[in-house]
């Protein structure tokens, strides 16, 4: 005979135990001491995420469910869009964002094989991978320093009759010149995909209107991988204000199906057995009609449950990142003769993912000399992702082919590949950790 009066009482008792477990075994009660490991990023959570995860586990729904629905609704309201849909990673979000632009429903604006998409080589590969895998042509443009974003002065020179879209990321939280890029896209009827995976919470102002990055273009994408601004472990999101793109996002995310019935619901539209689709027999079950070559990229409800609690904390995460970034910036101005400090884009308020540092010519030290010293002092460093993507082995089989196009000499991209690194500013860092990083960076540069 059970001693619980109800399932709710049982759940609460289990969650109370989880709360106690968190405070006993997971809560960080240790003070930082110089020399302790400082990672560039980490999860920031408490018992609330663990209890939400437990709640979803007890549901044992496993796939997308009530927590995913709640997150999508709350996230869309927070970031300021009509539609937001969870996927299993930021890379999948980029895959979906690009895939929907290849749909025949878009008519003359449909991206077809051989069409061109403007992007940059200095960034993360999964911004570019969907373009190449589909058979469209990425056109690589140089970036600027010290914003590390696309050089907008090259946009008109890059344009060709085959150009259909611009797909670029906001680098480490620093927005690219959205005013110029958006105006360029509108002038030439191009799609704009904002890879917002490293910039969630960044803001940008155009003509007096301030919005979050990811909401100025046609589609925005986010990642909830553990190092990112908030986490679900794995996970991502695709968002838009466009009703047609929203319908396509759902189709490509959910196997390419034509049906819009929510998971677990049959005959939501009332026309499951009376349609005519393609060359199928009339009345073929609409739940198994596929209008696109799609995927199953849904998130689990367990991941979404963590995200629901992370979203509540998110505004404080953003402010802590800004505070940590500014503390680094203020202190490192004393060594600007040896390094180039990052600068926020004009008309922006970044939600920083990291703090970029570039060695000046004639600094007397290489980037590797500096990062080796910093790493030896137990501080994690990272390069600016691919540096120059087209130099990587994945391009060996297509190098010097028509599979991609490069405009200009990518001079700054090359310089960044050889001279740039970054350290973290994640909200789990305190002033003592930031100050130890500052001391170590200055010591490395004054060796």
Tokens 């890059």 belong to 158
Catalytic residue among 228, 229, 286, 292: 228
Mean pLDDT of the residues in the chain: 97
* Residue 85 falls in the annotated catalytic set: no
Q: Are 149 and 195 in contact (CB under 8 A)?
A: no
Q: How far apart are CA 266 and CA 341, in angstroms?
A: 56
Angle (CA) 319 322 327, round 5°: 125
Give the distance, in angstroms, between the CA of residue 90 and the centroid of all CA atoms in the same chain: 5
Residue 167 CA to residue 185 CA, distance in Å, equals 11
Q: Please write the tens of the pLDDT for every residue from 193-251.
A: 999 999 999 999 999 999 999 999 999 999 999 999 999 999 999 999 999 999 999 99
Model confidence over 333-390: pLDDT tens digits? 999 999 999 999 999 999 999 999 999 999 999 999 999 999 999 999 999 999 999 9
Pairing mode, if any, of strands 405-406 and 209-212? unpaired
| pLDDT at residue 2 is higher than 80 | no
- Give, as one character, the DSSP assignment of residue 296: B
Q: Give Cβ neighbours of residue 356 (< 8 Å, ≥ 6 apart).
A: 146, 148, 171, 172, 342, 384, 420, 421, 422
* 143: its two tokens: 């970036």
Cβ-based burial of 408 (10 A; exposed 0-12, middle 13-18, buried ≥19): middle
**Residue range 412-437, pLDDT digits in tens:** 999 999 999 999 999 999 999 999 99
d(CA 22, CA 347): 41
* Residue (of 145, 208, 150, 142) closest to 178 by Cα position: 150
Q: 12-42 pLDDT, tens per residue?
A: 999 999 999 999 999 998 899 999 999 999 9
């Amino acid at each position: 005979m059970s001693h619980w009066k109800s399932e709710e009482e049982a759940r609460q008792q289990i969650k109370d135990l989880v709360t106690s477990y968190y405070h006993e075994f997971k809560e960080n009660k240790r003070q930082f001491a110089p020399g302790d490991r400082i990672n560039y990023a980490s999860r920031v959570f408490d018992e609330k995420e663990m209890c939400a995860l437990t709640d979803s586990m007890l549901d044992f729904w496993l796939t997308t469910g009530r927590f995913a629905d709640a997150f999508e609704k709350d996230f869309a309201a927070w970031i300021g869009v009509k539609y937001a849909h969870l996927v299993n990673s930021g890379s999948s979000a980029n895959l979906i964002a690009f895939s929907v632009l290849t749909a025949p429903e878009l008519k003359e604006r449909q991206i077809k094989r051989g069409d061109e998409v403007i992007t940059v080589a200095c960034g993360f590969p999964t911004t570019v991978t969907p373009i190449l895998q589909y058979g469209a042509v990425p056109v690589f443009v140089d970036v600027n320093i010290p914003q590390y974003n696309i050089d907008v002065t090259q946009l008109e020179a890059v344009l060709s009759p085959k150009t259909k879209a611009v797909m670029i990321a906001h680098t480490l939280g620093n927005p690219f010149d959205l005013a110029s890029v958006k105006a360029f896209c509108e002038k030439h009827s191009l799609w704009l995909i904002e890879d917002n995976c490293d910039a969630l919470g960044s803001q940008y102002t155009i003509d007096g209107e301030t919005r979050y990055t990811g909401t100025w273009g046609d589609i925005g994408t986010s990642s909830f991988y553990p190092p990112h601004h908030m986490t679900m472990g794995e996970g991502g999101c695709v968002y838009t204000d466009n009703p047609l793109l929203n319908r396509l996002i759902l189709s490509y995310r959910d196997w390419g199906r034509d049906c819009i019935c929510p998971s677990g619901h049959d005959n939501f539209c009332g026309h499951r057995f009376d349609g005519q689709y393609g060359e199928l027999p009339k009345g073929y079950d609409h739940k198994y009609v596929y209008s696109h070559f799609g995927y199953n990229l849904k998130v689990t409800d367990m991941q979404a449950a963590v995200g629901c609690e992370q979203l509540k904390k998110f505004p404080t995460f953003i402010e802590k990142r800004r505070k940590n970034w500014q503390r680094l910036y203020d202190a490192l101005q004393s060594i600007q003769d040896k390094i180039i400090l990052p600068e926020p884009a004009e008309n922006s308020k970044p939600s920083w993912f990291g703090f970029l540092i570039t060695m000046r010519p004639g600094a007397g030290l290489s980037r590797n000399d500096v990062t080796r010293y910093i790493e030896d002092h137990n501080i994690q460093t990272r390069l600016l992702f691919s540096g120059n993507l087209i130099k990587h082995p994945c391009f060996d089989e297509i190098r010097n082919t028509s599979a991609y196009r490069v405009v200009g000499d990518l001079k700054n991209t090359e310089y960044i590949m050889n001279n740039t690194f970054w350290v973290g500013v994640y909200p789990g860092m305190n002033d003592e950790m930031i100050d130890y990083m500052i001391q170590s960076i200055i010591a490395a540069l004054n060796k």
